[in-house]
Structure 1
Amino acid sequence: MILYLGNLPPSVSEGRLLKVLGLTSLSPSRLRIVKKPLQGGRVARYGLLQLQEGRDARRLLKGRRPVVVDGIAIEIREFHRRAAANERRALDWRQRAWPHPERRKAERRQPEARQPEFGLSQLPEPSAYEVSYSSEPR
């Protein structure tokens, strides 16, 4: 199971984070701290912790006390892989059923609300625009 560790302070190291989480060197795990630059010179820091033992992961997720490092509470939750930007980037997003309640009351393009199309009945009378064709050049 992979856990997401969010809101990491700048001074935390991998060894110190494992020690604070209560994971020993005997429990097989893999931790990676990611530092992602943001706008305005800020840096987002989060960690991905892969645990082989489900018992350790459940203990961290069910913990009643927040894990605090340098006075900052760390967010711990299960890591879910996401699509590149959103769910509509998937190849078959149009065929999938929408899992949420519909927000729209009615279809936007209602037939009675549309303007009538320009048809032959709306053309002016032929006498108003008579055209004469002649074979003689002008």
Structure 2
Amino acid sequence: MMTGRKGFTVLELIIYLGIVSCVLLINLVLISFIKGNHIENRLFWHSFQECWTQAQQTARVNHCKYEVMIETESQQVVFKPYHPKIRKQVLKCPNGLVPHNARHLFINSNGYASPTTIYWQSKSGKEIYLQKIQLGWSGFRIEKKN
């Protein structure tokens, strides 16, 4: 090697670029893994909103009551109508989100639902989500607690 030369040699440059590439690749993989879990949760909340709205509208149109069962063991939400011709809807919880306890909610035949709060938690237990069912026909909102 030349001692009077300033800068990197080709070998040093290749090693440096390899290290930088590995660090960037690890960061990209971690970011996509973390965001993937949040996307799954957002899709679940969107699907829950669609099922909830559909249950309220169907209850009003067909004058039938709905029972919404949040099950901890099977990790699913069941929208069960009290009408023989309407099929129930089953919504699976995402892998990273579990209900804190089992709940039974009711949507009356006029589409009205009583206000309540449902507690959800991440499987790691570090994040808690509060799903607040609004008074009447307003739907719900999600609050995240750390």
- TM-score where L is the length of structure 2: 0.21
Higher normalized contact order (CA 8 Å, seq sep 6+, divided by chain length): 1
Q: Please state which structure has a larger fraction of its residues in helix.
A: 2
- TM-score where L is the length of structure 1: 0.22
The structure that has the greater radius of gyration is: 1
Q: Please state which structure has a larger fraction of its residues in strand.
A: 2
